[in-house]
């Protein structure tokens, strides 16, 4: 499992009976988590006195109960600053487990720029509040950030401002990701790296319906047509239980087989302070281009 274990401002303190206790900076939240099907003792005092608690409804959805939480606050991850606020369906505006992917591709970008001096163009689809966008831009890439929600794009811009990345080459777009990719193919545009974090279900700005099981392979196939002649990496994330890491790996490997590279996949997770175990939080498939002949002797796709 790939772990996001470099956080200072965030941690999962404990997990029990369908919920997790987290520390986000100075504030403690209790939120539901469908992976937590065990029931263990809740010994940490913050279980009983959190700053906020999201209660899941048996009828679907749920609501926040606030005790002592500001409307908005900030946390840092290395050089990046994120503005957080509780909103619908338990979210805070950040998926901290994705930090393991930020570290992975930031290292790739930095090394490629140091070795070649070339511009690295990154396309970030379903880009949400910009965690991956900021990490890529901070590493030196130029980024095209695409999300169907104007509110999420504005939030991402605020995070860029707070992180001191306002003047970095980031192109902010409110658009349906599938339609944007189709237009980019017609325009003949290409990218050196692609990141996608598609939802299980969603709607575009004009009501377009997205179901990941129906659309993900076709999107990966279309995105492969946007790859440059010298691509660097391709990353697909999923929080859909039925979409296993191996299935994502197979789809990416199939569509990028014309390139010389390596594919791997795994669950991603967060360490749990109380138990020392790991909370699984999703899955990722990562394709990386080989940069020399020695690398390509094994595990080619």
- Predicted TM-score (pTM) of this structure: 0.93
**CATH 3.40.50.150 segments of the chain:** 97-297
Question: CA angle, corner 32, sides to 277 and 135, nearest 5?
Answer: 70
Condensed to tens digits (0 to 9), the pLDDT of residues 222-259 reads 999 999 999 999 999 999 877 899 999 999 999 999 99
The CATH class given to the 2-73 domain equals mainly beta
pLDDT band, residue 199 (cuts 50/70/90): confident
CATH match for 97-297 among 3.30.70.3000, 3.40.50.1240, 3.40.50.150, 3.40.50.2300: 3.40.50.150
The CATH 2.60.40.1180 domain(s) of the chain lie at 2-73
Summarised one tens digit per residue, pLDDT across range 97-156 is 999 999 999 999 999 999 999 999 999 999 999 999 999 999 999 999 999 999 999 999
Chain mean pLDDT for the chain? 93
């Amino acid at each position: 499992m790939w772990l996001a274990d470099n956080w200072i401002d965030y941690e999962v303190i404990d997990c029990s009976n369908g919920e997790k206790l987290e520390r986000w900076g100075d504030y403690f939240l209790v939120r539901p988590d469908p992976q937590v099907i065990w029931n263990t003792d809740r010994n940490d005092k913050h279980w009983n006195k959190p700053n906020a608690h999201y209660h899941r409804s048996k009828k679907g959805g749920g609501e926040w109960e606030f005790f002592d939480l500001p409307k908005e606050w900030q946390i840092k991850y290395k050089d990046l600053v994120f503005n957080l606020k509780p909103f619908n369906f338990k979210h805070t505006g950040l998926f901290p487990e994705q930090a393991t992917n930020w570290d992975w591709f930031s290292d790739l970008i930095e090394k490629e720029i140091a070795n070649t001096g070339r511009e690295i163009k990154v396309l970030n689809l379903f880009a949400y509040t910009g965690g991956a966008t900021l990490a890529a831009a901070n590493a030196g890439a130029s980024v095209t950030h695409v999300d169907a929600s104007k509110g999420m794009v504005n939030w991402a811009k605020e995070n860029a401002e707070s992180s001191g990345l306002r003047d970095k080459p980031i192109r902010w777009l409110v658009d349906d990701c599938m339609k944007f990719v189709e237009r980019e193919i017609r325009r003949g545009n290409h990218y050196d790296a692609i990141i996608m974090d598609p939802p299980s279900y969603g709607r575009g700005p004009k009501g377009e319906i997205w179901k990941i099981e129906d659309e993900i392979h076709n999107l990966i196939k279309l995105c492969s047509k946007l790859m440059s002649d010298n691509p660097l990496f391709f990353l697909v994330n999923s929080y859909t239980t039925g979409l296993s890491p191996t299935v994502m790996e197979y789809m990416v490997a199939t569509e990028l087989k014309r390139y010389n590279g390596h594919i791997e996949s795994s669950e991603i997770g967060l360490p749990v302070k109380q138990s020392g175990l790991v909370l699984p939080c999703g899955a990722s498939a990562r394709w990386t281009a080989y940069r020399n002949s020695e690398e390509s002797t094994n595990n080619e796709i």
